[in-house]
């Protein structure tokens, strides 16, 4: 990257988000992370409490980040949750909570981030979807819907904001060794891993590398793309 940028990674207190935040910090960027529980101890990272299901909380968090680090130039909309359940047992709350966090939450932060990006005529919006957004996944009707929604949303932003030099792209990871994956049973993890052509799950930094690339000048002509980082699990979709 040509200069130090202000980067916000949502859901950055652990997992893929924290790995990405550390990678940006290693490269000398100004990095903020949000999460409901802001417990990051890395003193290079500005950690802010923000529940992204609340638009007012998003506004407050952005104001704090702008005061500390300047306007957000790179947004990594990474925060997400699962509430897995078979369709007939899924409650309205299970569905709504996942979509409100993963899709509506990403919309809230992207809308807030876009305003100063438009003024600056430069920005990078990077959304963390999932291989299951395209493949579907039994027991994840809510989660897959939210992750598929991110793709249509990002591509609409790519069309709307492209003339101002703002790109909007999606990273679609396969299984990654984080707390989210740890919440599955051993049997579920073994089944998923057996379907991955590379025969293993990813480490968080392997997703972070793709995110960092999309934020870089090398990716200046990439917008509306869905970049799979999935060991081949989703290929062909
Ligand atoms: P983790 O569960 O380790 O981290 C999720 C992050 O999201 C945490 O920082 C959490 O912080 C934050 N978060 C959750 N709800 C909210 C909220 N309402 N407001 C703000 N922050 C919130 O997950 P991963 O690192 O594994 O996942 C990161 C992203 O990658 C997610 O979007 C996930 O769907 C996606 N992904 C993960 C895969 C995997 O196998 N791990 C595969 C494909 C995609 P806190 O709880 O403190 O709020």
* Per-residue model confidence as pLDDT tens digits over 41-82: 899 999 999 999 999 999 999 999 999 999 999 999 999 999
Catalytic annotation, pick one of 62, 95, 107, 143: 143
Q: Is 175 in the pocket of ligand 1 (CB under 6 A)?
A: yes
Report which ligand 1 atom has the smallest distance to the Cα of 82. 34
168, part of any domain: yes
Residue at 18 is within a domain: yes
SS3 43: coil
Confirm or reject: Cβ of 196 under 6 Å from ligand 1: no
Question: Is the shortest distance between the CB of 133 and ligand 1 below 6 Å?
Answer: no
CA distance 49 to 22: 18
Q: Within a domain: residue 187?
A: no
CATH of the domain at 146: 3.40.50.720
**pLDDT per residue over 187-215, tens digit each?**
989 999 999 999 999 999 999 999 999 99
- For residue 127, the enclosing domain spans 6-175+205-227
Is 143 a residue of the active site?
yes
In this prediction the pTM is 0.98
- Residue 91 CA to residue 117 CA, distance in Å, equals 38
From 35, 127, 205, give the residue whose CB has the most ligand 1 atoms within 8 Å, as the site to mutate.
35
In a domain, 119, yes or no: yes
| Total number of domains in the chain | 1
């Amino acid at each position: 990257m040509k200069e130090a940028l202000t980067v916000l990674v949502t859901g950055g207190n652990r997992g893929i988000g924290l790995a990405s935040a550390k990678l940006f910090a290693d490269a000398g960027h100004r990095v903020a992370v949000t999460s409901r529980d802001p417990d990051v101890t890395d003193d290079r990272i500005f950690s802010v409490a923000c529940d992204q299901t609340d638009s007012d909380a998003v506004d407050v968090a952005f104001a704090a980040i702008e005061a500390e680090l300047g306007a957000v130039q790179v947004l990594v909309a990474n925060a997400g949750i699962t509430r897995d359940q078979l369709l007939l047992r899924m409650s309205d709350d299970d569905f709504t909570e996942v979509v409100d966090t993963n899709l509506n939450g990403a919309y809230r932060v992207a809308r807030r981030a876009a305003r100063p990006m438009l003024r600056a005529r430069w920005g990078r919006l990077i959304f963390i979807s999932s291989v299951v957004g395209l493949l579907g996944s039994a027991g994840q009707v809510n989660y897959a819907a939210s992750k598929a929604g991110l793709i249509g949303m990002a591509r609409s932003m790519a069309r709307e904001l492209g003339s101002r030099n703002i790109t909007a792209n999606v990273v679609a990871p396969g299984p990654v060794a984080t707390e989210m994956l740890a919440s599955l049973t051993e049997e579920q993890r073994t089944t998923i891993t057996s379907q991955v052509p590379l025969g293993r799950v990813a480490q968080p930094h392997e997703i972070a590398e793709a995110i960092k690339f999309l934020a870089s000048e090398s990716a200046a002509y990439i917008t509306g793309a869905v970049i799979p980082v999935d060991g081949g699990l989703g290929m062909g979709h």
